[in-house]
Amino acid sequence: MASSLVFVSRPSFPREQFLSLLDLAVTEQLVPEGLELTVKTNEERLVTKVELRNGTREELQQLATEFIDRHVESRILNYSDVCVAVVPEEITSAPQLLLLMDVDSTLIKQEVIELLAAHAGREKEVAAVTEAAMRGELDFAQSLIQRVATLKDLPDSVLAEVGERIIFSDGAPSLVRRFHAAGHKVAVVSGGFQQILDPLATTLNLDHALANTLGITDGVLDGTVHGEIVDRAMKETKLRTWSEEHQIPLNATIAAGDGANDLDMVCAAGLGIAFNAKPALREKADVRLDFSRLDVIADLVLDDLN
């Protein structure tokens, strides 16, 4: 089966450098000679797609990774300059895709638990636990219980206050719009909190949105999580459940996240994306995206640019 080799630059990356990179890809036989390479522009990003028919996806991905690593080592590039991905035909030719994303530090710029903890004067303590959990050094469920306990006795009004401070990642609304315009499904699954997620899901018109539920008693956070905790295993389960619900094959799914808690869904998806991710995820994902435009995901898999 054919795969697409996709190059997407960060915003405002010099066109001359991008063209030089494509020339190197031809010279070093990552891209076959004689092909006419078209460069499209989107939001100051440069996008080129090349259809490759020789080599397996794994072989092509290894070659692409080595190509980028080599030129970062030689200081021609930084990882934050260009995203290079091998996108399988099962993704590019699928009649419908399912995109599943993490929320904190992926769909949005913040970690909600840290915003809530700031109201309790425990922000630094909670941030340290969050970082360790996202690196995979702590069990996520236990770390969540530990962090939520610090919120005990906060008035539930803090949820609305924190909700007003949420900032979508650059390009997040555009990403969802482009996927929906192409007839695809977009969902999120989060180790954060349903009470914060629901308004965001409504704003973006998401097809599915699941997170943990904070316990509230008499208008006060009781320091507990109600129901089954949304951990890395649950995230993969929802990827499979929602793809089956929409009759979308697993190889036509895309999953994106930033931490160890996203590892199972990213590895299970047809295309797994590490978005400005911790090493535990970055080393396992199919795609390494190291600059802050989330809608690069649409550049990689959709054919909607002029």
Active site residues: 102, 104
CB 150 within 8 Å of CB 128: no
